[in-house]
A and B are shown apart, each in its own frame.
Chain A
Amino acid sequence: MKELVALSTQDRIRAIRDLPVSFQEKKHIRCVLHHEYDKLYIKSARQSLELWQGTLKEIGGKFGSSVLSYFLFLKWLLMFNVFSFLINFGFITIPLLVHGPSPSNVTFRGLEILTGAGYFAHTVLYYGSYSNQTLLEPVEYDMQLSYFFTIAVFMVLCKITLIYSMSKSFQENYVPADSSSSSAWLLLTGWDFTVINEKAVRQRKDNLRESLSESAQSELLTRSEKLKHFGVHLGCWILSTGLAVGCGAGVYFLCQYEQKTLLVPFVVSLFNLVIPLFYSLFNKFEVYSSQRSQIYTLVGRNVLLRMVILGVLCHYWMDVVAENFQCWESRVGQALYRLVLFDFFFLMLGSLFGEFLSNVIGTKLLLHLGVPEFDVARNVLDLIYSQTLAWIGIYFSPLLPVMQMIKLFILFYIKKVSLIQNCQPPRRSARAAQMQTIFIFLLFFPFFLGALSVVAYTAWSLSPSEQCGPFRGLNKTFSVIESWMEDVDELQGSRWAAWIYQNIILSQIFFFLVTLIVLVIIYVFWQVSQGRKELIGLLKQQIVNEGKDKSFLLDKLQKLQSSRKKNLKRKKKKRVGHAGPAESRGGGRRSVGPGPPTEPRSVRLQRPHSGHAGPTAGAE
Chain B
Amino acid sequence: MGTTASQLGKDLLSEYQELTFLTKQEILLAHKRFTELLTKDEKDHQNTRVSMERILTLPELKSNPFRKRICHVFSTSEQKDGGLTFEDFLDLLSAFSDSATLEIKSHYAFRIFDFDDDGTLDRGDLEKLVNCLTGETDDTRLTTEEMRQLIDNILEESDIDKDGTVNLSEFQHVISRSPDFVSSFKIVL
Q: Which residues of B contact A40 (CB under 8 A)?
A: 17-18, 23-24
Binds A, one of B30-38, B48-56, B100-108: B100-108
Q: CA of A180 to CA of B109 in the docked complex: distance in angstroms?
A: 24
Contact A47 B161 (CB under 8 A): no
Q: Give residues of chain B (39-80) contacting chain A, Cβ–Cβ below 8 Å.
A: 59-60, 62-66, 74, 76
Q: Which residues of B contact A197 (CB under 8 A)?
A: 63
Q: CA of A372 to CA of B183 in the docked complex: distance in angstroms?
A: 24
Let me know if B8 is at the binding interface, CB within 8 A. Answer: no
Q: CA of A27 to CA of B107 in the docked complex: distance in angstroms?
A: 19
- Known contacts A178-B177, A215-B153; is-contact A22 B20 (Cβ 8 Å): no
Tell me how far the C-beta of B188 lies from the nearest C-beta in chain A, rounded to whole angstroms.
Answer: 6
Q: CA of A198 to CA of B61 in the docked complex: distance in angstroms?
A: 10
Tell me how far the C-beta of A8 lies from the nearest C-beta in chain B, rounded to whole angstroms.
Answer: 14
Tell me how far the C-beta of B47 lies from the nearest C-beta in chain A, rounded to whole angstroms.
Answer: 10
Contact B146 A213 (CB under 8 A): yes
- Known contacts A193-B186, A543-B160; is-contact A209 B76 (Cβ 8 Å): no
- Known contacts A20-B107, A216-B146, A216-B153; is-contact A39 B17 (Cβ 8 Å): yes
Contact digits for B160-189, partner A, Cβ 8 Å, 1 yes 0 no: 111100000000001101111111111110
Contact B109 A189 (CB under 8 A): yes
Contact A181 B177 (CB under 8 A): yes
Let me know if A182 is at the binding interface, CB within 8 A. Answer: yes
Q: CA of A180 to CA of B153 in the docked complex: distance in angstroms?
A: 11
Tell me how far the C-beta of A54 lies from the nearest C-beta in chain B, rounded to whole angstroms.
Answer: 10
Tell me how far the C-beta of B10 lies from the nearest C-beta in chain A, rounded to whole angstroms.
Answer: 10
Let me know if B25 is at the binding interface, CB within 8 A. Answer: yes
Tell me how far the C-beta of B76 lies from the nearest C-beta in chain A, rounded to whole angstroms.
Answer: 5
Tell me how far the C-beta of A55 lies from the nearest C-beta in chain B, rounded to whole angstroms.
Answer: 13
The closest CB in chain A to the CB of B73 belongs to A22
The closest CB in chain A to the CB of B126 belongs to A188
The closest CB in chain B to the CB of A12 belongs to B18
Q: CA of A174 to CA of B176 in the docked complex: distance in angstroms?
A: 10
Let me know if A589 is at the binding interface, CB within 8 A. Answer: no
The 3 A-B pairs of least Cβ separation, nearest first, read A547-B161, A173-B179, A44-B24
Q: Give residues of chain B (73-103) contacting chain A, Cβ–Cβ below 8 Å.
A: 74, 76, 87-88, 90-91, 94, 96, 101, 103
The closest CB in chain B to the CB of A16 belongs to B19
> Given A196-B59, A208-B133, A217-B146, list of 6 further CB < 8 A pairs?
A16-B18, A22-B76, A26-B19, A41-B24, A197-B63, A216-B150
Let me know if A427 is at the binding interface, CB within 8 A. Answer: no
Contact B65 A191 (CB under 8 A): yes
Binds B, one of A428-436, A479-487, A565-573: A428-436
Contact B149 A23 (CB under 8 A): no
Q: Give residues of chain A (484-509) contacting chain B, Cβ–Cβ below 8 Å.
A: none
Let me know if A125 is at the binding interface, CB within 8 A. Answer: no
Contact digits for A18-32, partner B, Cβ 8 Å, 1 yes 0 no: 101011101100100
Q: CA of A395 to CA of B183 in the docked complex: distance in angstroms?
A: 38
The closest CB in chain B to the CB of A546 belongs to B161
The closest CB in chain A to the CB of B95 belongs to A20
- Known contacts A22-B88, A191-B133; is-contact A185 B186 (Cβ 8 Å): no
The closest CB in chain A to the CB of B113 belongs to A188
Selected contact of A209 from candidates B87, B134, B161, B188, CB within 8 Å: B134
Let me know if B138 is at the binding interface, CB within 8 A. Answer: no
The closest CB in chain B to the CB of A41 belongs to B24
Most buried by A among B64, B130, B150, B187: B150
25 contacts between A and B (CB under 8 A): A22-B91, A23-B76, A23-B88, A26-B19, A27-B19, A40-B18, A64-B184, A65-B183, A181-B157, A188-B133, A189-B109, A189-B178, A191-B65, A193-B64, A196-B62, A197-B63, A201-B63, A209-B134, A216-B149, A432-B184, A434-B180, A543-B160, A547-B160, A550-B161, A551-B163
Q: Which residues of A contact B129 (CB under 8 A)?
A: 188
- Number of A interface residues in the complex (CB < 8 A): 69
Q: Which residues of A contact B63 (CB under 8 A)?
A: 196-198, 201-202
Q: CA of A175 to CA of B177 in the docked complex: distance in angstroms?
A: 6
Contact digits for B114-128, partner A, Cβ 8 Å, 1 yes 0 no: 000000000000000
Contact A190 B130 (CB under 8 A): no
Selected contact of A175 from candidates B64, B153, B179, CB within 8 Å: B179
Contact digits for A200-215, partner B, Cβ 8 Å, 1 yes 0 no: 0110011011001101
The closest CB in chain A to the CB of B158 belongs to A185
Tell me how far the C-beta of B18 lies from the nearest C-beta in chain A, rounded to whole angstroms.
Answer: 5
The closest CB in chain B to the CB of A214 belongs to B146
Q: CA of A548 to CA of B101 in the docked complex: distance in angstroms?
A: 33
Q: Which residues of B contact A173 (CB under 8 A)?
A: 179
Contact B160 A540 (CB under 8 A): yes
Q: Which residues of A contact B146 (CB under 8 A)?
A: 212-213, 216-217
Q: Which residues of B contact A20 (CB under 8 A)?
A: 103-104, 107-108
Contact B160 A544 (CB under 8 A): yes
Contact A17 B64 (CB under 8 A): no
Q: Which residues of A contact B188 (CB under 8 A)?
A: 57, 60, 194
Let me know if B140 is at the binding interface, CB within 8 A. Answer: yes
Q: CA of A124 to CA of B72 in the docked complex: distance in angstroms?
A: 63
Q: CA of A110 to CA of B74 in the docked complex: distance in angstroms?
A: 63
Selected contact of B15 from candidates A30, A41, A188, A212, CB within 8 Å: A30
Q: CA of A69 to CA of B50 in the docked complex: distance in angstroms?
A: 35
Contact B174 A189 (CB under 8 A): yes
Q: CA of A196 to CA of B56 in the docked complex: distance in angstroms?
A: 12
The closest CB in chain A to the CB of B177 belongs to A175
Contact A193 B179 (CB under 8 A): no
Let me know if A94 is at the binding interface, CB within 8 A. Answer: no
Q: CA of A465 to CA of B88 in the docked complex: distance in angstroms?
A: 69
Selected contact of B161 from candidates A30, A185, A190, A544, CB within 8 Å: A544
Q: Give residues of chain A (212-259) contacting chain B, Cβ–Cβ below 8 Å.
A: 212-213, 215-217
Contact B103 A18 (CB under 8 A): yes
Let me know if A192 is at the binding interface, CB within 8 A. Answer: yes
Q: Which residues of A contact B25 (CB under 8 A)?
A: 44, 47-48
Let me know if A43 is at the binding interface, CB within 8 A. Answer: yes
Q: CA of A172 to CA of B183 in the docked complex: distance in angstroms?
A: 11
Most buried by B among A13, A184, A192, A206: A184
Let me know if B7 is at the binding interface, CB within 8 A. Answer: no
Q: CA of A27 to CA of B188 in the docked complex: distance in angstroms?
A: 23
Contact A212 B18 (CB under 8 A): no
Selected contact of A192 from candidates B21, B60, B135, B184, CB within 8 Å: B184
Q: CA of A300 to CA of B130 in the docked complex: distance in angstroms?
A: 35
Contact B153 A184 (CB under 8 A): yes
Q: Which residues of B contact A30 (CB under 8 A)?
A: 15, 18-19
Tell me how far the C-beta of A607 lies from the nearest C-beta in chain B, rounded to whole angstroms.
Answer: 14
Q: Which residues of A contact B156 (CB under 8 A)?
A: 182
- Known contacts A18-B104, A188-B133; is-contact A65 B161 (Cβ 8 Å): no
